[in-house]
Amino acid sequence: MIKIQPACNDIHEPGLIPLNDALTRILDASPPIGGYERVNIENARGRTLAEAITADFNVPGYTNSAVDGYALSGADLPAEGTRILEIAGKAYAGEPFQGRLNPGQCLRIMTGAPMPEGLDTVIMQEHAERRGNTVLIDGRHKPGQNVRRAGEDIRLGQTILHPGKRLIPPDIGLIASLGIPEINVVRKLRIAIASTGNEIFSIGTTPKAGGLYDSNRYSLWAALDRPDIEVINLGIVEDRPDALLNAFEQAAEFADVIVSTGGVSSGEADYTKTALQTSGRIGFWKVALKPGRPFAFGRIGNAVFFGLPGNPVAVMVTFYLLVLPSLEKMLGINNKPIVPLFRARMLDDLRKKPGRTEVPRGIIGQDQNGEWTARSTGNQGSGILSSMSLANALIILEHDRGNVKAGETVWVNPFAGLF
């Protein structure tokens, strides 16, 4: 979640609320969906864990060698100088040595092989000199070195993963190390997406004069392409109050979330907000954000509703700053990695009006001294989708801030932490 300085409402437009206030209202109205499904761990990456994972045994299950070398008792290490030890046998991973060693003896041992009783130290083979059936060691070593103790990774009875964890590859390996083939995860979040506007045409058709191809639905579809989400494509909904109302009410019967683009400004033909007011409950519909001022939030039936602007860049900005945090709260994710947000020195000027958060698209990098820098991608119009494609970060200009001069520092949010 991006945090910026709080500020009062823009005095120039009643009902316009700051970005942080909008996000707080959205999160407060985004309860966890509940419900789970059982999946094989091979298919669990990116899903939200719905149960605690507790160990039934130690991992590793036995004390073993961390390197290839020679196992011995720490008591046989020379305090100074060197010492020659007799090699009494070999031990391999999966083929443990059977028997006991006498003082002055050692064991040739491979990585992962169990440590025989009475031995507690391993010397790397590079640090020993083999001489026939003996090995020469010196006094630079310490008792207990190069040994992995039983249970040092996971202890019997330890809870290693908790509900709400969005599973990443190391988690899958951790679960596998306990021999668990299936787990319970939060069910997929069902999200219906729609584009509105009589000027929008589907790919594969020929737009009429003044028409354009629908890009917003495809941007959203790509942004929602993750293992814990099921996308329901409503297509392009005709920009009529009755058509929108019917589409949204039907979607609310099976979707947890409805996301539409277009039709939420104050124009005479913008009917999405009207449909929301008629069928559901509207929370707010104007945010002090550029791009993204017209943004409707509320509920239709049991579904959370997001009415995003129609301009392509505004769709992307509002999705990542306002919609995605809500979706992840509904999924019950409670440990999402922190999205990086840090300061960078601007290389060019930026025009900015106080009274709203502005989010220009930028390209960040490092100068010869390793200092982070940022520059604009150029034209920042909310319809210039190429400004997002050229960028590698969002530049976050706080609500009360004015114009930015080259050399000043700004907050930047790398796409690597968002996408």
pLDDT at position 12 is 56
Per-residue three-class SS string for 88-146: EEEEECCECCCCCCCCCEEEEECCCCECCCCCCEEEEHHHCEEECCEEEEECCCCCCCC
Greater confidence (9 vs 266) lies with 266
Take residue 418 and report the two structure tokens written for it.
């968002």
Q: What is the reported pLDDT for 231? A: 98
- What pLDDT, in 10s, does the model give residues 76-135? 999 899 999 999 999 999 999 998 999 999 999 999 999 999 999 999 999 999 999 999
Extract the tokens encoding 232: 């329901």
Q: Are 214 and 273 in contact (CB under 8 A)?
A: no
Mean pLDDT over residues 189-194, rounded?
97
Residue 265's pLDDT band (cuts 50, 70, 90): low
* Average of per-residue pLDDT values in the chain: 91
Summarised one tens digit per residue, pLDDT across range 219-231 is 999 999 999 999 9
Residue 11 has pLDDT above 80, yes or no: no
Q: What is the pLDDT of residue 200?
A: 87
Quick one: average pLDDT of 307-331?
95
Q: Is the pLDDT of residue 383 over 70?
A: yes
Mean per-residue pLDDT, 241-264: 90
* pLDDT score for 2: 45
The pLDDT value recorded for residue 266 is 60
State the average pLDDT over residues 274-295.
84
Q: Residue 268 above 80 pLDDT?
A: no
Q: Please determine, for residue 382, whether its predicted confidence score (pLDDT) is greater than 60.
A: yes
The crossing angle, in degrees rounded to 10, of helices 272-279 and 241-251 is: 60
Radius of gyration of the chain, Cα coordinates, nearest whole angstrom? 30
Q: Which of 148-157, 274-283, 292-301 has the lowest mean pLDDT?
A: 274-283
Check residue 3 and give its pLDDT.
46
Q: How confident is the model at residue 281 (pLDDT cuts 50, 70, 90)?
A: confident
**Separation between Cα atoms, residue 316 and residue 220, nearest integer Å:** 8
Secondary structure of the chain as H, E, C letters? CCCCCCCCCCCCCCCCECHHHHHHHHHHCCCCCCCEEEEEHHHCCCCEECCCEECCCCECCCCEECCCEEEECHHHCCCCCEEEEEEEEEEECCECCCCCCCCCEEEEECCCCECCCCCCEEEEHHHCEEECCEEEEECCCCCCCCEECCCCCECCCCEEECCCCECCHHHHHHHHCCCCCEEEEECCEEEEEEEECCCEECCCCCCCCCCEECCHHHHHHHHCCCCCEEEEEEEEECCCHHHHHHHHHHHCCCCCEEEEECCCCCCCCCCHHHHHHHHCEEEEEEECEECCCEEEEEEECCEEEEEECCCHHHHHHHHHHHHHHHHHHHCCCCCCCCCCCEEEEECCCECCCCCCEECCEEEEEECCCCCEEEEECCCCCCCCCHHHHHCCEEEEECCCCCCECCCCEEEEEEHHHCC
pLDDT at 5 over 80: no
pTM of the model: 0.88
Q: How confident is the model at residue 267 (pLDDT cuts 50, 70, 90)?
A: low
Confidence tier at 348 by pLDDT (50, 70, 90): very high
- What does the alpha-carbon distance between residue 305 and residue 243 come to, in Å, rounded to a whole number? 16
Is residue 173 predicted with pLDDT exceeding 80? yes
Query: What's the pLDDT score for residue 4?
Result: 43
The mean pLDDT value for 331-338 works out to 87
How far is the C-alpha of 23 from the C-alpha of 15, rounded, in Å?
Answer: 15
pLDDT(210) > 90: no
